[in-house]
Amino acid sequence: MKRFVYIIISILFVARLSYSQTALDSVIKSYLSEINKDSLKQTMLELESFKTRYDIEPNHKDIAKYLLKKFQKAGLNTSYLDTFRYFTTRYLTTRYLFSPKNRDSSYWGYNVMGEIKGSAKPEKVYILCAHYDTYSFEYRDSLNPQAPGADDNGSGTASIIEIARILVAKGYKPNATIRFVAFDAEEVGLLGSYFLAEKIKRADINLRMLVN
């Protein structure tokens, strides 16, 4: 998880192409020194404390709201829930539909979005993302299923929050816009990312890079 934070911060600075190599190495090191293992661990523990982050559970929107507060606390003043609706067939674990045809039930998904606006070329967008929903095979045969999702993908979610915190705290001013996304409904058919991809396509957004 810490290595992931290292890699992403390095990529962001290299992408700016506004430093000499010597200066770039020094700046990157100063940012990497801000990585807080306790902060990463705390976010992980808080995510695990929900016991499950499966989409159809009653606590699901509460988890999205929790992550929104984490984005805001990290300093992402432009942050919000991007809500979408999806439909399912009778067999929830086998097929998922966006179309209301032949639906048996519907659910709401919540992508958690945050942004640092670019200072020179804000129309160019870089996305750092991870999914926060979870699933466990216990849902097939357990009355009290657990899906804490530490590695899949609580660690990724905690990492993008930590990256956002460091960049804001250090006053990072990207040339292009950086968006932070915690995807929902990925375990049930990659729906959160599909929803965002369709929005990007329709709006003809100049997406330069996405790292998951």
The label of the residue with tokens 């911060």 reads 9
For residue 8, give every residue at least 6 positions away whose Cβ sits within 8 Å of its Cβ, in sequence order, or none.
128, 159, 160, 163, 211
To which residue do tokens 């329709």 refer?
202
Looking at residue 104, what is its pLDDT?
57
Q: Are strands 121-131 and 176-183 parallel, antiparallel or unpaired?
A: parallel
Q: Is there a contact between 54 and 60 (Cβ–Cβ < 8 Å)?
A: yes
Q: What's the token pair of residue 24?
A: 């770039």
pTM score, whole prediction: 0.86
Three-state DSSP at 28 gives helix
Q: How far is the first Cα of the chain from the last one, in angstroms, to the nearest whole number?
A: 12
- Cα separation of 133 and 54, whole Å? 6
pLDDT by 10s per residue, the chain, length 212 = 556 565 666 556 545 545 555 666 787 788 888 989 999 999 999 999 998 898 888 899 999 999 999 999 999 999 999 999 887 654 443 334 444 444 557 788 999 999 999 999 999 999 999 999 998 766 555 666 678 888 889 999 999 999 999 999 999 888 899 999 999 999 888 889 999 999 999 999 999 999 98
pLDDT of residue 16: 55
To which residue do tokens 């990207």 refer?
A: 174
